[in-house]
Structure 1
Amino acid sequence: MERPEELGYLLRCGCPAFQGYLFSHPLSAEAFEDLLRKGRRLGPVAGGEPAAVPLP
């Protein structure tokens, strides 16, 4: 997913999870593992940078 409109559509359809450039550019396995270790996930990009938000 690359556009906010696509995210809106998926949210309206009830999709619980997302991936794509709207959230982050590809991460190395190490960077992704670091996010998981810190209990973080990526939210939609704001101002060019992904927003890290706590996992529920």
Structure 2
Amino acid sequence: MSKRVMIAAGGVVVGLILIPLIGFLPALLVLIGLPVIGYLMLDRSQRRRLRHIGRRELR
């Protein structure tokens, strides 16, 4: 399996574990909110670099 597939599968597993524990909407907020918070923590130059490079170059 590729690294990208393993990360996606891990996200699905975490989501399925969180739903019964904390409910659907809080789990959805966690799964969407964490990547958004991570993006907002980047510097302006890091965000610009992330937007301009292709997804294949992120490795």
Normalising to structure 1: TM-score of the pair?
Answer: 0.32
> In terms of Rg, which structure is larger?
2
Name the structure with the higher strand share. 1
Q: Higher RCO, 1 or 2 (CA under 8 Å, sep at least 6)?
A: 1
Normalising to structure 2: TM-score of the pair?
Answer: 0.31
